[in-house]
Amino acid sequence: MWSQRWMWIAWPAFLLAGILEMIVFAMVDPGDLHWFGNPLGLSRQAIYTLAFFVFWGVTMASSALTTLLAMSPFEVNRCPVPEAERPKDCAQNGACR
Q: What is the pLDDT of residues 15-64, one digit of tens each?
A: 999 999 999 999 998 888 888 988 888 899 999 999 999 999 999 999 99
pLDDT at residue 96 is higher than 80: no
CA–CA separation, 59 and 75 (whole Å): 24
**Would you list the domain boundaries of the chain?**
2-85
**Given the DSSP bridges, would you call strands 34-35 and 38-39 parallel, antiparallel or unpaired?**
antiparallel
Contacts 24+ apart (CB under 8 A), 63-67: 63/8, 63/9, 63/10, 63/12, 63/13, 64/9, 67/5, 67/8, 67/9
